[in-house]
Amino acid sequence: MKKYNVGLVGVGAVGSEMIKVLKERGFPCGKVQVFASRERDEKICGETYHVLKAGENSFAGMDIVLFAGKTDVAIELRDAVVKAGAKMIDNSRAFRQDPDVPLVVPQVNAEDLDWNKGVIANPNCTTAIMLEAVAPLHKAKKAKRIIASTYQAASGAGAPGLDELEGQIREYAEGRPLTVKAFQHRLLGNIIPHIDKFDETNWYTLEELKMRNESRKMLHAPDLMLSCMSVRIPVARAHSESLNIEFEEDITPEEAREILSKAEGVRVVDDPLAGAYPMPLDATGGYDVLAGRIRQDISRNDRKGLDMFVSGDQLLRGAALNAVEIAEHLVKRGLV
């Protein structure tokens, strides 16, 4: 079997998950080289890696380079990766709306990889989790309008967010004042309807606008109507989303369950009388998006509306796993 030299730029929470997923899925790695802002030794997933400083001459000999760092780093190093002949899979927001860069979740639109010019973008984690469940339904019945409310874990803000929540739990238990730095307000015992910056022309946040813009691009549905409210909740890991979906064709909950039961990357958990429905605790550490609470929208006089609830591990399904699956599909399609 051919081996592929893999680079990783960024050694935070997502970067560590990428290394873990490469190992778990048995990706045919040759050399694995980690890059960051400075040279050092770093222990990742129980193994010590010699981390090199990333620069314009860093990527010679690499076949695939996974980016798990900041947007400005991705922009700065893009040309260096492409010039070296490697495929860049970027987890930042840098290129998601670039018309020359495919934005991909393989279960949704793997065919878009065929027109890549050396760079592939990962969508925002909330978009990836939603579209795992929505795309199969859209392909069958064509989604027309989506109202989404997202309930996003502390770790969605990276290690600082998770550390702050854990620190607040300790501080509360010890009767000390709670430290507030990573979020706009105290998170413990609270929810915050504010993720990312506000667009002062319409008062949506950038996080909420990403859901609309990325979904339109990935589904090739420029007229898709989507409105989102993004909320930070005091959960360590895994995002959840409440979705109200209007379709162009009639669809019943039974049909939706049947479609989703056959969809790769989705697990239907929908037995409410037995207490079985998607929850972030159950989604944490898993590859699949959990989908449940599937029911007809009773605010309508037709059968074109559904409500459902989904949960997915944003570090895996929304980031690291998706990046590795993109790499797998590049190999499968003979594009690397």
Q: Are 82 and 51 a contacting pair, CB within 8 Å?
A: no
Q: How far apart are CA 127 and CA 217, in angstroms?
A: 11
State yes or no: is 125 an active-site residue.
yes
Contact 147, 224 (CB under 8 A): no
228 labelled catalytic: no
Identify the residue whose tokens are 């260096």.
80
**Cα(231)–Cα(40) distance, rounded to whole angstroms?**
37
Spot the catalytic one: 194, 220, 228, 239. Answer: 239
Q: Which residues pair with 308 in a beta bridge?
A: 243
**DSSP letters of 66-106?**
EE-S-HHHHHHHHHHHHHTTPEEEE-SSTTTT-TTS-B--H
Nearest of 91, 83, 37 to residue 62 by alpha carbon: 83
**Annotated catalytic sites, by residue?**
125, 239
